[in-house]
Amino acid sequence: MTTQPPSESDTAAVPTCYRHPGRETYVRCQRCERSICPDCMRDASVGFQCPECVAQGNKTVRQARSAFGGLAVTTPRVTWALLAVNVLAYVVETLGANWVLGTFQMNSLDVAYRGEWWRLITGAFLHMPLSVGSFALSHILFNMWALYVIGPQLERGLGSARFLALYLLSALGGSVAVYLFGIAAVGASGAIYGMFGALFVVAKKLGYDARSVLLLIGVNTVLTFVFPGISWQGHLGGLVVGALVGGIFAYAPPKSRNMVQWGGCAVLLVILIALVTLLPPYAVLSQFGISG
């Protein structure tokens, strides 16, 4: 008995995967009706879908957003990254304090006379070296504790990109205040106080009881003026800028939220740059006896 080969009509009737023509399958995509093999099956609410239909469907799914327009945050990666950068900078500073401080510390005269503008940012990632005394260690410990406690809360409320903008603008605001009214400073305190200011504004906007935040700001502001060697300029400069950024993010109208938020941050950045570019610092004026 001889076996007849399958006829052309029988061969054509066997469905094969549209991505793998050599694989026989009897499963179809629920959206496009194309045949799909097990390797191409993607679980759907009903049955299976092909990879292309799944990808197309994902494009139409709205991503979860935070209360103020940023992408929803589950893991506050920006907060952890900022913590790591601050700690790493402190380790490097401890190993070569003189060189690091001499190159990256915020110093009004170096910014004004030498054009070393990077000090306005890099100084916010340095802290008092251990050689200064026991208070030096508490300097970085307090700042990193505050970042660890408040950072994730703000990052989840604002979104990672907006939180990073808040942190950097607050740090810059503190440095600009030091430039205008002081001489030199180090520390993330400007950024930390900026977080305090933003947290107060955000809490008020969301209808939370902000008295504990206000108490925190008040106590730390008093300590700023009680203990010697603390840069009140950096603290207050960061606090003011952080509150302004928090207000921009919290009170932007929903219909034009992104434009108002990022446009407002850009305007604030331009103002801070203009203050450094157009105004002489206190340290320079005092050299000429016209500091007031």
At 83, the amino acid letter reads L
The rounded distance, in Å, linking the Cα atoms of 154 and 79 is 9
Neighbours of 6 (CB within 10 A): 11
Catalytic site includes residue 235: yes
3-state SS assignment for residue 71: strand
Candidates 189, 231, 286, 291; catalytic one: 189
Integer-rounded Cα radius of gyration of the chain: 29
Question: Can you spell out the DSSP letters for 92-159?
Answer: HHHHSHHHHHHHHSEEHHHHHHH--TTHHHHGGG----GGG-HHHHHHHHHHHHHHHHHHHHHHHHH-
Catalytic site includes residue 139: no
Cβ pair 183, 109 in contact under 8 A: yes
Cβ pair 147, 83 in contact under 8 A: yes
Candidates 170, 235, 256, 291; catalytic one: 235
Residue 180, token pair as written in the block? 């205008």
CA distances from 9 to 6, 12, 79 (A): 8, 5, 64
Question: Can you spell out the DSSP letters for 153-175?
Answer: HHHHHH-HHHHHHHHHHHHHHHH
**Catalytic annotation, residues:** 189, 235
